[in-house]
Structures are given as structure tokens and as C-alpha cells.
């Protein structure tokens, strides 16, 4: 399987997916930490890929996504954006309904 195939499979198989530096518990950069904080405030589970542990994905994803930086948040197969966009959406109240809807559609909600 090619790296691009792996990326496509990850995006297709996870309704909420964050490509980040580090892990949600131990982010390895400030941008990833801020993005995780905004996502966790939504109260739903999300998948993540630590791009520091996979150099191939780190190299190929910016080309595939046409987005040069990390983190990258993908919801329902669509690139939402990076740290600034996610944090702006969180502040404006747009992020939580998007994440809740994706989790509900996936049947993977943590809420009642």
C-alpha cells in the first residue's frame, strides 16, 4: 500500500481525524496543543496520527491535502484546516456542532 493510499484510508475510516505533532496527551508543538485543546472541548472522541512517528505521512500529507502545515483536522473526509482555523471555529462556536454531528453520524458519541 502506498503512503497516499494509507492517508486516504485513514481519512475515510475516521470521521474526526487529527494529524498532529505528538499525541493528544503529549503534544509536541504549541499549534498541536492548541488544536487538541479546542477539539477536546467538544467532548467527542477523535482519531489522531502522530506525524513525528511517520516520516512518510509527514512528507506526503501536505501534498495530498494541498495544505503545507500541521496540525491538520479532517472531518468527514474534508480538510477543515490547521490550528488557526480550528481555534477560530472553536471561539465562534462553529467547531462543536461540526464535531458533534460527525461523531453522531459515526455513532461514536460520548454524550447522551
Angstrom distances, CA of residue 12 to CA of 27, 38, 47: 24, 22, 12
**Binding site residues for glutathione, as ranges?**
21, 58, 70, 83-84
CATH topology of domain 3-106: Glutaredoxin (3.40.30)
pLDDT value at position 34?
98
Domain boundaries along the sequence of the chain: 3-106
CA dist., res. 41 & res. 34, Å (int)? 11
List the binding residues: 21, 29, 58, 70, 83-84
Cα 36 versus chain centre, distance: 8
pLDDT tens column, 34-87: 999 999 999 999 999 999 999 999 999 999 999 999 999 999 999 999 999 999
Q: Are 27 and 18 in contact (CB under 8 A)?
A: no
Q: What is the pTM of this model?
A: 0.93
Percent of the chain with pLDDT over 70: 96
Q: Which residues are annotated as a binding site for [2Fe-2S] cluster?
A: 29
Amino acid at each position: 500500500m502506498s503512503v497516499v493510499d494509507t492517508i486516504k484510508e485513514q481519512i475515510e475510516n475516521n470521521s474526526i481525524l487529527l494529524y498532529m505533532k505528538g499525541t493528544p496527551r503529549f503534544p509536541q508543538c504549541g499549534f498541536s496543543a492548541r488544536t487538541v485543546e479546542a477539539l477536546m472541548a467538544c467532548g467527542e472522541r477523535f482519531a489522531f496520527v502522530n506525524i513525528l512517528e511517520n516520516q512518510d505521512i509527514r512528507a506526503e500529507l501536505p501534498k495530498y491535502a494541498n495544505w503545507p502545515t500541521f496540525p491538520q483536522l479532517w472531518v468527514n473526509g474534508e480538510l477543515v484546516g490547521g490550528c488557526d482555523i480550528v481555534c477560530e471555529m472553536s471561539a465562534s462556536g462553529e467547531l462543536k456542532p461540526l464535531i458533534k454531528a460527525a461523531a453522531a453520524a459515526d455513532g461514536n458519541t460520548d454524550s447522551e
